[in-house]
Amino acid sequence: MAGPAVLPVAVFGCRPRVAGGVCFLEEQVVLHAAGAGCLRLHLEHKWHNFIPGTEKSRGVRALAVSPDRRFLAVSEGAGEQPVLAVYELAAERARRRKVLAAEGLPARQAVSLAFSPDSRFLAAATAPPEGQLTCWLWEKQQLAAAVRVQAAGDGPCQVSFNPQDNTQVCITGNGFFKLFKYSEGYLKQMNLQRGEPENYLCHAWLSEEEVICGTDTGKLSLFETGELLWEKSLEYRKPPRKPEEETTIEYESGVAFEDNGLQQHSLPQISAVAAYSKGFACSPSPGVVLLFEKTSEKEVYEERQEVWLPQDLFSTEPKKSSRQDITCICFSPSEEMMVVSTNKNQLYMFTMFSTKLIREKISYFAYMNFPLHSNSITGLDMCIWKPILATCSLDRSVRIWNYKTNTLELCKEYQEEAYTVSLHPTGLFCLVGFSDKLRFVSLLYEDMHVFKEFAVKKCRECSFSNGGHLFAVVNGNVIQIYSSITFENVTNLKGHTGKVHAIKWSEDDTKLVSCDTHGAVYEWNLLTGKKESECVLKTCAYSSISLTYDAKIIFAVGSDQTLKEISESSIQHEVPAHGVVYTTVAVARSGRLVFVGTSLGAIRAMKYPLTLKKDFSEYQAHAGAVTKMTVTSDDQFLLTASEDGCVFIWKVYDKECGGVKEEQKHEYAEEVLIMRSDIDEKSQAILDLQICVRDLQTESDYELRLKDMYCEGKIKALEETFTQEIDSLKTKHQILQEEKEKQKLQHEIQLSELMDKQAKEVQQLESDSSQKLSMENEKYQELQVKSQKMEEEYEKQLHNLEESKIKALAELKEHYEKKLKHKSVLLEEAKQNMRKQIEAQKETEKQIYEDGDKEILELKDKYEKQLLEEKESNIQLKGEIGVMNKRLNSLQKELKDRNRDIEEMKLEQQKLQDIIKSLEKDILALKTDVKERTETILEKEKHVYDLKTKNQELQNFKFVLSYRIEEFKKQIESRENDIETMKKQISEMEAELEKFRKESIELKLNITQLQQKQRATAGEVHKEMEKRQNMETLIKRFKADLHNCVRFINDSKKMKDGIRELYAKYVHQPDMVEAQAEDADLQQQYKKQQEYNERNLAVLRKKVMKDKEMQHTAYMRIMQENVSLIKEINDLRQELTVANAQVHDLQSALRLNKNKKAIQDTAPSSELPSGPAVLRLNPEMESEKIIEMQQLEIQYLRDQIQEMGKALSCPGSVSFSQKSS
């Protein structure tokens, strides 16, 4: 059947949370899960090769590549029945080889897969808690073995084969770590799990016997042949701060972000582990991978390097972008590259270097290609002038892709979610509909600039006209038409009753077609602003429409599972979807091809005219519903986007036109927008760099001339010395050859005599030894028969004893494991309460340590700057040494050629000497043979005696076994007693906790009472102060009135009248009585307040004493840390002096000291060695200065303690003094 066909050319996206989701096929070829299948990607050439999933696939859950990288195993969910398929990767397009299924197994999806080392077996593990481990002979589609694996709860599960053994399988999960051995159709467990069960998240084989496991509590456990060999707990890692970000505002924001992160991840979790030749890599915290290498010390593996995810500069929250969970780690075949995948659909790579070459412990990943969408894609559009497409997503980002070069050209993240995007035909502008506004964006060279904003909220659809002079915007159920030049609202198209879901322009931009959720499809005339035709079907909610080139036929899809062909205001054809909902539709410019996207992520290609039969080609690509679809203007490519965050670019083939449609040579525009300010900045930067280059060239030319002059003189001197040495060696060589010939004649005479003697002795020994061996062999065979019979009898007895012992132990183990689980729950509750109290104490301690840490950091920064300056000077010297070494190497090569001739002559001499020595060794070997034969006779006699002793030991072993069984019973009784004591201790701890709670409540009540009393006394004091002020004002007035009365001393009448007025004003009898009563009350209150203040003083003094003790302990800790820091500083100084001494030795070896003065006079000031920074005082002077600094710090801390004590004692004394006044 001839028809349309499409093939995926490029895929932009990655599927998260896939077991083994990333792996290398070659050094530059990476395979990862994408959409509903897998993608092969070449890192250098950028070609993509998509491996589609099965029909109705909902995405890959797990994948595995065979060790020879020829086969790929995939576990995916397709409808109700899961699928386990194996693909062959040798061909250009991967071919499905086998699909595995078994009738007896439950229909559960495999969450982890692994190939055996020879690629014959495939192991699959289903999800816990009722998990199952299956082993397949996949080429025969035969289930080799199956075992149930019960877990403590839900969680990740991983399976893997021993890299050297086809029959050994390891599986880990929540509460179990098990090793199985495959033999004769069964999987038998090899190890017995000891200790408390842990939630193992991942594991990796380091060698034939070693397995490294990671837990959800950040613990690394190394097992050797199933037994725990080494453990290490990793801490939760915070991202390193760069010096550029250490401002106060950024510091506060960083602290807030880290606090949020700590709340989400209170404990480190080792989410991924991968092994390589030097050790292994693991991820204990979000955004970081630690590299461990093997050591010969007690710690088997040691951390060498931290590799962090980079901050996304295009993101609105760059710090959060670097805190992604790493789900998978893999290494390239040469181990030169490491690739990781994250839970946010991103892929990162890191080029591996030797830890000896890397000085810095912290490194950073880079994007494997470019950042990808991490959420559902809501908008997609293409333009005519350029081979680009625009996408927007619920991850709040807008991206511009190039589908010719398979690259990301622009990317920017915004504060709001983006719902729709439309590209201008020129490719220089785009419209983006956000939740708050519609924005007109200019696409610059390296950025997106918002040029204009429109007040249209939650715009779900927008589109530029084909000419680019207009654009349509959906605002609810109204379509608004704007001018792209003046940004004026030209017309509003009203008539829809439901939300408008799609709009399409005609080719001449005179018509617009739209559809809504109430089943209406309208055709609008933009010249009049009115409807030309309509087609309404209320039972269908339309989701997408498309137009033919002449705008006569409309294709629409919706909720009724049909594709509708509409023309002349009526539905002409309805094509059924066969049990699937169509979500999008697109028509080729030629009108012969129709493409439809489904809710299951499939793409269907149909011929036009449409038929009612199932006449289409279906391609399973996406793992979610297809949201947007469009065809390029030249009908060469189909672009699709989906809810899984992937963008697919399909190559369109038309079989009716005779194979592949020939590509028309389309010339694309290369113009780019750029801001004037950006051009000015870049031109200024270029000028500055050109000036720097000129200066460096002049400096380097001058230095090279000086070095050439120096090296030429040195070469001449070396040539003269080497010629003299060669002449002397030639004379020595002639003398040695003459001596060699003399010695050769002597050795030949001696050898002939020794050979005759040896032949006679050998004949005699052979005759004697043959007679003795025959007698001993007969005795040995008789003893061997007896020993075999004895061994068989004892093995039967031991086997019976072991079976009875294993049964008894298993019953006891089950009984005590139940008890331990119940008690572990109670202990965990108590531990959680204790952790909360410890966290509260740690917060108070942090506040005390922060002041000391600031001073220490200042000192640290000073010494680090000095170290950097000295390192730079060392690097300059090393560069000069490298140039000199190259010259010396060229000279040494010439000398080596001459020395080779001399060495060849020596080798000939050594060969002759070796022949003589070998003959001597042969003589010694014959003597040792005689001795060895006598020793073997003695050893056989000893062996017979040992067999007798073993028989006696086996009899004794019976009694030992019976004795051990009794001891085990006693140990079980003692453990029961220990459990009872632990119960009592737990109850006592709970009682103490209740006491502490009650005491804390009582203390809080006392504090509140004391605070209320203090407030009351403060109010009374305030009232007394006001009364005092009033009395003082009265006294002042009285004095003034008295002064006025004094004037009338001579006139007695006026004097009497004035005194009466004063009496009437200031003297009242009831006031006097009240004043006396108030004085009595004041005295009583004064006594009560005095007693109350004395009690408060006693309480405050006790508190001050406690605070002094706490401060003293804190002070001692700070002093210890200070001493350790000073020691580290002294060690750094000593290392600096050693480094300078080594540099000086290198200079003297190369005889650079002679020309040092001349170079210093001629070289620029920037290259002078920083000598004063390295100067150091005598060790006695340094120790005196350190002691003085420590004494000053001790005095400063004592003064602070005294001030705190005074401040605490002041409140009581102040209140007492106020009352007394």
Q: What is the pLDDT of residue 1178?
A: 52
Looking at per-residue pLDDT, the higher value among 345 and 265 belongs to 345
Rounded distance between C-alpha atoms, residue 134 and residue 142, angstroms: 11
- Apex 210 CA angle, 209 and 214, nearest 5: 150
Looking at per-residue pLDDT, the higher value among 1050 and 416 belongs to 416
Token pair, residue 362, equals: 């912290």
**Could you tell me what percent of the chain has a pLDDT over 70?**
89
What contacts 251, CB < 8 A, 6 or more positions away? 245
- Mean pLDDT for 1037-1065 is 81
Question: Which residues share a beta bridge with 454?
Answer: 438
Q: At 708, which amino acid appears?
A: D
Q: What is the pLDDT of residue 103?
A: 61
Question: Is 70 exceeded by the pLDDT of residue 1150?
Answer: no
| Measured CA distances, 969 to 480, 964, 965, 983 (Å) | 88, 9, 7, 22
Q: Please list the helix, strand and coil fractions of the chain in percent, rounded to the nearest 5, in that order.
A: 45, 30, 25
Strands (E), 577-728: 582-587, 593-598, 602-607, 616-620, 626-631, 637-642, 647-654
Burial of 997 from C-beta contacts in 10 A (0-12 / 13-18 / 19+): exposed
Q: What is the mean pLDDT of the chain?
A: 82
Q: How far apart are the first and last CA of the chain?
A: 112
Pair 702, 1162: CB distance under 8 Å: yes
Q: What is the pLDDT of residue 250?
A: 41
Rounded distance between C-alpha atoms, residue 411 and residue 399, angstroms: 4
Rounded distance between C-alpha atoms, residue 369 and residue 12, angstroms: 10
Q: Which of 142, 157, 75 lies closest to 104, judged by CA?
A: 142
Q: What is the pLDDT of residue 452?
A: 92
Band of the pLDDT at 251, cuts 50, 70, 90? very low
Band of the pLDDT at 319, cuts 50, 70, 90? confident
What contacts 253, CB < 8 A, 6 or more positions away? 319
HSE of 58, CA atoms in CB hemisphere, 13 A = 8
Q: What is the pLDDT of residue 356?
A: 54
For 493, list phi and psi in degrees, rounded to 5.
Answer: -100, 110
Question: Is 80 exceeded by the pLDDT of residue 553?
Answer: yes
Q: Mapping DSSP to helix (H, G, I), strand (E, B) and coil, where does residue 893 land?
A: helix
| Measured CA distances, 164 to 119, 207, 309 (Å) | 12, 8, 34
Rounded distance between C-alpha atoms, residue 430 and residue 450, angstroms: 10
pLDDT digits (tens, 9 = 90+) for 13-58: 999 989 998 999 999 999 999 998 999 999 988 889 999 888 878 8
Token pair, residue 1183, equals: 């120790």
Peptide bond into 609 cis (omega under 30): yes
Token pair, residue 783, equals: 């003893």
Question: Is 60 exceeded by the pLDDT of residue 1068?
Answer: no
Q: What is the pLDDT of residue 1181?
A: 64
Query: How does 502-538 read in b/e, with b if 16+ C-beta sit within 10 Å?
Result: bbbbbeeeebbbbbbbbbbbbbbebeeeeeebebebe
- Mean pLDDT for 891-919 is 79
- Mean pLDDT for 344-359 is 78
pTM over 0.85: no
DSSP symbol at 52:
-
| Helices then strands, each counted (H, E), the chain | 7, 57
Looking at per-residue pLDDT, the higher value among 925 and 303 belongs to 303
Band of the pLDDT at 1217, cuts 50, 70, 90? very low
- Mean pLDDT for 1054-1063 is 81
pLDDT digits (tens, 9 = 90+) for 363-401: 899 999 889 999 999 999 999 999 999 999 999 999 999
pLDDT digits (tens, 9 = 90+) for 507-537: 999 999 999 999 999 999 988 888 999 999 8
pLDDT digits (tens, 9 = 90+) for 621-675: 898 999 999 999 888 999 999 999 999 999 998 766 544 444 456 788 888 888 8
pLDDT digits (tens, 9 = 90+) for 596-609: 999 989 999 998 88
pLDDT digits (tens, 9 = 90+) for 1156-1176: 444 444 444 333 334 333 334
Rounded distance between C-alpha atoms, residue 885 and residue 629, angstroms: 63
Looking at per-residue pLDDT, the higher value among 34 and 1123 belongs to 34
Q: What is the pLDDT of residue 605?
A: 92
- Mean pLDDT for 753-757 is 80
Rg of the chain, C-alpha, whole Å: 45
**Could you tell me what percent of the chain has a pLDDT over 90?**
28
Q: What is the pLDDT of residue 102?
A: 61
Q: What is the pLDDT of residue 1213?
A: 41
> Would you tell me how many other CB atoms lie within 10 Å of the CB of residue 191?
14
Tell me, letter by letter, the H, E, C secondary structure of 535-551.
EECCCCCEEEEEECCCC
pLDDT digits (tens, 9 = 90+) for 990-1033: 777 788 778 878 888 888 888 888 888 888 888 888 888 888 88
What contacts 270, CB < 8 A, 6 or more positions away? 201, 202, 214, 215, 216, 218, 219, 220, 234, 282, 283, 284
For 78, list phi and psi in degrees, rounded to 5.
Answer: -125, 95
